[in-house]
Structure 1
Amino acid sequence: MSVPTRARRTLVTSSLGTCLLLGGCAAPWESEPASAVDGRITLGFVNGGSTEFHTCLQESVERTARNNSVGLQTANSRQDAATEVANIERLIARDVDALIVQTVDVNALEGGIAKARAAGVPIFLTSVVPEDTSDVLGAVVVDQKEVGRLDAEWIEKDAAGRQVSVGVIAGAPGAASDVLVEAFTAHLPGNASVVASRPGMYDPVKARTVAAEMIRAQPGLDYAFVANEQMAFAAREAFDAAGGKDVRIVTVNGTDEALAALKDGRFAATVSNSAADTGELAVENVVSLLREEKADKIDKTRVRLVTEDNADTAPLYCPPED
């Protein structure tokens, strides 16, 4: 005999204790209210932005929910922490059984945490996870420390002991980008100096401006580490326009467009991590954990360094719809 959804929530929250709330969104709701779904789990997915990563992640969450007969409501925070909190409140009010959250800012959610605690809504995270995981239902994360390490170690190998300069174009401060950049800079060799570091906010227009200013200030720049490939393409254009064609770009994601850029020399290296895998694991693991079935509380999306030499064997970043 199946356990009613409301009873499952009580069971899960009592075993987990207080839930940690990270994330939120503000786009219109895309599915029916939870109250209209009888006898099945309904999840809320609060996405953090509209980059290719976020878009592919959402497509994967929606597809996996549909394939598993799970109700789903989605919204988008557009990189705004205040909007996150407001939309968390809205999702809680829709009586979802759990929230999957791709957060914007892990430090700006105290109010939302309190509301989730009072409502007994379990939280499942993507991309980041707190050191103390006792207050979350679970997480699927890209190991940002590993991603940063792989890109930094590629520079170490490529520089081969030469004194080199490195520029950093980060994402949005306050979440996964901070972890990524810190790991990257920590693993750079002593012969590599970070001469500039600014956020690109996961916005190609902003990243283009940052890159143009960076190459003007550092005309001899050797490498640029860019926190995602959409920004990296914009940075490439800005570097080339300002005479910085020799700047070698290392980046993150492993999209089809980036693999082509590795082959033609626009990028030097990237670290692949499938957004589709992250979304699929998130939905499947949440459902299993709510039903008290076997699942890893903290799961990881596979990461892999990709260069021109192995671009043909890189995993698909965002497989097409079925």
Structure 2
Amino acid sequence: MKKLHLLFAAFALVFVLAACSLENGSSSKDGDKAKSKDSLTIGLSISTLNNPFFVTLSEGAQTKADELGAKLSVADAQDNASKQASDVEDLIQQGVDLLLINPVDSAAVASAVEAANAAGIPVITVDRTSEGGEVVSHIASNNVAGGVLAGEYLTELVGKGAKIVELEGVPGSSAARDRGEGFNKAIEGQLKVVAKQTANFNRAEGLTVMENILQANPNVVGVFAHNDEMALGALEAIAATGKDIKVIGFDATDDAQAAVKAGTMAATVAQKPEEIGSKAIETAIQYLKDEAVDASIPVELELIKK
């Protein structure tokens, strides 16, 4: 009987030690989880850092990440949809807690968003949308409304029936599509678009494309470019002709605002990229802390003119 009591006591001791071990293991796991919440890593796949607008957006995101104690890992897609897909895969492999994606191409980026979804990593799109995959939130200015602002002001400047040019952004990007939609809605029945061509949001291409357009259309009196880089390129081409052609851009970069102030550019639509980047980080952290976030977060627009 005495041996039986000792055997039961031994079993009881083993049970207690096992329970304590499990409890300590649970506490450690909870501690690791809390630690991960305090040291969040956010990935940012940005379309290009060869554009002042996106440089400012990235800087706004970095500043807010530093302020809130999060680590930000930035990958520059260099306006290449294939590279962006590879960049997103790298960020997934790094084990980021959340992905911010500024798509090069809204259709092409869908597979990258779906890859993040499959890995259990939430995605927020910035400035441009994704046409596929699950996205927690989209943070951007209302590009359609910005296009309307540009169209209405250009009509006011050049008058009804005037011949104008539209320089389009990267084909497939939601920004190019939406800005063009708003602009054409505003000028319908008011202005005549004699040339519409992409310059891929690039200043050098804006110069070359505008030179070619002016040779074929010498009576053009106005230009709407889907971003400031193309607008500034167009201004160089126009300056060489000595003509007075009203140019409106989009983004309100420092160079564009200086051109507006100098009177060489008629106007630019301010999209506030620093605020977009900052809001993206704020929203990411709110979501990771299980706080509710809006599916769409707009950033106000403003027409900058002299």
Please give the range of the TM-score, normalised by the shorter of the 2 chains. Answer: 0.7 to 0.9
Deviation string 1:108-133 (CA, Å, 9 cap, x unpaired) is: 1343234222201100011123689x
Quick one: which amino acid aligns to residue 295 of structure 2? K
Give the structure-2-normalised TM-score.
0.84
Q: CA deviation at 1:241?
A: 0.7
1:120 counterpart residue number? 120
Greater fraction helix: 2
1:64 counterpart residue number? 64
Q: CA deviation at 1:105?
A: 0.4
1:263 counterpart residue number? 261
2:227 counterpart residue number? 228
Distance 1:181 1:271, change over 3 A: same
Q: Which has the larger radius of gyration?
A: 2
Q: Is the 8 A contact 1:105 1:174 kept in 2?
A: yes
Matched, 1:242 2:244: no
Q: For 2:183, what is the secondary structure of its paired residue?
A: helix
Quick one: which amino acid aligns to residue 247 of structure 1? I
Q: CA deviation at 1:4?
A: 6.5
- Which region of structure 1 is more displaced relative to structure 2, 123-132 or 171-180? 123-132
Matched, 1:51 2:51: yes
Q: For 1:79, what is the secondary structure of its paired residue?
A: coil
Q: RMSD of the alignment, in Å?
A: 2.4
Matched residues in 2 for 1:205 and 1:113: separation?
31
Deviation string 1:203-222 (CA, Å, 9 cap, x unpaired) is: 21111000100111110101
Distance 1:305 1:6, change over 3 A: farther
Matched residues in 2 for 1:255 and 1:91: separation?
29
Q: For 1:249, what is the secondary structure of its paired residue?
A: strand
Matched residues in 2 for 1:230 and 1:149: separation?
19
Q: For 2:74, what is the secondary structure of its paired residue?
A: strand
Q: CA deviation at 1:5?
A: 10
Deviation string 1:162-182 (CA, Å, 9 cap, x unpaired) is: 310110111211111122112
Give the structure-1-normalised TM-score.
0.80
Q: Superposed, which structure 2 residues align to 1:1-322 within 5 Å?
A: 39-49=38-48, 50-129=50-129, 135-160=134-159, 162-175=160-173, 176-243=175-242, 245-308=243-306
Quick one: which amino acid aligns to residue 52 of structure 1? P
- Which region of structure 1 is more displaced relative to structure 2, 287-296 or 174-183? 287-296
Q: Is the 8 A contact 1:101 1:126 kept in 2?
A: yes
Matched residues in 2 for 1:44 and 1:238: separation?
38
Matched residues in 1 for 2:125 and 2:30: separation?
24
Deviation string 1:38-71 (CA, Å, 9 cap, x unpaired) is: 8421100001012001111111111111111001
Quick one: which amino acid aligns to residue 187 of structure 1? A
Quick one: which amino acid aligns to residue 87 of structure 1? D
Distance 1:113 1:256, change over 3 A: closer
Deviation string 1:241-296 (CA, Å, 9 cap, x unpaired) is: 134x2110011112333223223221112111111000000000110112122443
Matched residues in 2 for 1:235 and 1:159: separation?
17
Distance 1:67 1:173, change over 3 A: same
- Which region of structure 1 is more displaced relative to structure 2, 282-291 or 228-237? 228-237
Structure 2 gaps of 5+ residues are 1-26
Q: CA deviation at 1:300?
A: 1.2
Q: Is the 8 A contact 1:43 1:98 kept in 2?
A: yes
2:20 counterpart residue number? none
Quick one: which amino acid aligns to residue 122 of structure 1? P
Q: For 1:212, what is the secondary structure of its paired residue?
A: helix
Aligned residues with identical type, % of pairs: 26
Q: For 2:278, what is the secondary structure of its paired residue?
A: helix
Matched residues in 2 for 1:273 and 1:108: separation?
24
Distance 1:109 1:230, change over 3 A: closer
Matched residues in 1 for 2:183 and 2:32: separation?
44
Q: Is the 8 A contact 1:137 1:286 kept in 2?
A: no
Deviation string 1:175-233 (CA, Å, 9 cap, x unpaired) is: 11122112211221413011111111122111100010011111010110112222212
2:10 counterpart residue number? none
**Corresponding residue pairs, total:** 277
Q: Is the 8 A contact 1:37 1:71 kept in 2?
A: no
Matched residues in 2 for 1:165 and 1:128: separation?
30
Q: Is the 8 A contact 1:6 1:97 kept in 2?
A: no
Q: Is the 8 A contact 1:4 1:39 kept in 2?
A: no
Distance 1:111 1:126, change over 3 A: closer
1:14 counterpart residue number? none
Quick one: which amino acid aligns to residue 140 of structure 1? I
